[in-house]
Amino acid sequence: MKIHKIILAALCGVMLSAGTAQAAEKVSFILNWVAGGDHAPVYWAKAQGWYRDAGIDLNIEQGKGSTLSSQRVGIGKNQLGIADLGTALVNKGKGADLVAVFNIYANSPYGFYWKKSSGIKSIKDFAGKKIGNPPWDAARQMWPAFAKASGMAPDSVTWVNIKPNAKIAALKSDAIAVTTSFYNIHFIFQKVFGDDMGFVAGKDIGVNPYGNSVIANGKYLKANPGVVKNFVKVTQKAYAACAKNADPCIDALLAANSGLKRGSSLANWALVKELMDADSSRNGAIGYFDPARMDADYKLIETYFKLKAPFDIKQTYTNDFLDMSVKFSG
């Protein structure tokens, strides 16, 4: 009789586990780019089983830029993803059905790079110089805002079309005097140019839109608010934990992605922590969208990116799924 009870209990446990596994919601999550240090918390949370325990069967898909990730989420090819918020808002204006549910970069990642030996000391010295980047580069599109904030005429510089992977070579050879880049690869410019590297962050010029954020397909969010809430809570917990101790997070990233180097991944993550650190993440919560900043971001995008269809910014983001007790303290 006792053996029968043990067997019955074991069978019940198996059935319960099977039921839980069947109940797990399959979620396709597209990154903004190929996996790197800034994605380590997601890989770590998955390795810890946190998403599974929250009822989510998470598939992480490599990305090829925020335009692609926001487009795919916007049409429902992926339920969730990461995208630069400005790019996501531009695609929202083109009809993409998406809602921002968690902010990662509380500071803008945009920055300008030059060689000090060129004689440039500040952004005002860009006048008369060549700035090289792709035509679709967000910092290039917002140049009038940077120029206005610096007291410069927007047409005082010359733009040169440079592919993303050719920026450093062009700057090194003096084919251009200035280029732009996301701050999360700042360490690469430091390695190449050393003490000769000149840099100014967009936020220090006075233009500081939110950067990379988690976005959800709007239709999916309405149908599955509980799934999105669980995803956000796990992701928020993971970013908070990795901000305090990056080592296990980087271990999980490297285990899931061959070819990545520990040193560069740690350097990347250290810069991401700087981008996470802002009043909204310290006084609000990690992942929090400040309404006043979101209003300002919308005006910025509306002004410089020629939105095809204006929309209500207040319907384009939510803080409802955040645990407001989880603050940035890295």
Superfamily holding 25-107+210-315: Periplasmic binding protein-like II (3.40.190.10)
Alpha-carbon gap, residue 180 to 111, rounded angstroms: 6
CATH architecture of 110-205: 3-Layer(aba) Sandwich (3.40)
Quick one: pLDDT at residue 223? 98
Tell me the one-letter amino acid at 152. Answer: M
* Three-class secondary structure of residue 327 per DSSP: coil
Q: Is the CB of residue 43 less than 8 Å from the CB of residue 222?
A: no
What is the per-residue DSSP string for 15-75? HHHHHHHHHPEEEEEE-SSS--GGGHHHHHHHHTTHHHHTTEEEEEE--S-HHHHHHHHHH
The confidence score (pLDDT) of residue 48 equals: 98
- Which residues sit opposite 179 in a β-bridge? 113, 132
pLDDT tens across the length of the chain (330 residues):
444 444 444 444 444 444 444 579 999 999 999 999 999 999 999 999 999 999 999 999 999 999 999 999 999 999 999 999 999 999 999 999 999 999 999 999 999 999 999 999 999 999 999 999 998 888 898 999 999 999 999 999 999 999 999 999 999 999 999 999 999 999 999 999 999 999 999 999 999 999 999 999 999 999 999 999 999 999 999 999 999 999 999 999 999 999 999 999 999 999 999 999 999 999 999 999 999 999 999 999 998 888 889 999 999 999 999 999 999 987
* pLDDT, position 305: 84
**DSSP letter at 290?**
P
Using only the alpha carbons of the chain, give its radius of gyration.
Answer: 22
**Residues 247 and 270 sit within 8 Å (Cβ to Cβ):** no
pLDDT at 138: 85
**Counting beta carbons within 10 angstroms of the beta carbon of residue 102, is it exposed (0 to 12), middle (13 to 18) or buried (19 or more)?**
buried
Structure tokens, 109: 């990642």
Which residue type, as a one-letter code, is found at position 53?
D
Cα-flanking dihedrals φ and ψ of residue 239, to 5°?
A: -65, -35
Quick check: do 25-107+210-315 and 110-205 share a fold? yes
Query: Alpha carbon 32 to chain centroid distance?
Result: 7
Distance CA 38, CA 176 (A): 29
List the strands of the sheet with 25-30, edge to edge.
56-61, 25-30, 80-84, 212-217, 98-103
112: β partners: 180, 200
Give me the helix-helix angle, 40-47 and 247-256, nearest 10°.
Answer: 80
Provide the 3-class DSSP secondary structure of residue 167. Answer: helix
How confident is the model at residue 68, as a pLDDT? Answer: 94
pTM for the predicted model, two decimal places: 0.89
* Residue 5 three-state SS: helix
Two tokens, residue 106: 């509380």
Cβ(223)–Cβ(108) under 8 Å?
no
* Type of residue at 36: G
Residue 305 CA to residue 135 CA, distance in Å, equals 12
CB neighbour list of residue 20: distance below 8 Å, 6 or more residues apart? 55
Nearest-angstrom CA–CA distance, 172 and 188? 13
The domain segmentation of the chain, as residue ranges, is: 25-107+210-315, 110-205
Q: Which amino acid is at 256?
A: A
Provide the pLDDT for residue 22.
Answer: 53
pLDDT at residue 10 in the model: 45
pLDDT of residue 157: 98
3-state SS class at 217: strand
Helix, strand, coil tally for the chain in percent (to 5): 55, 15, 30
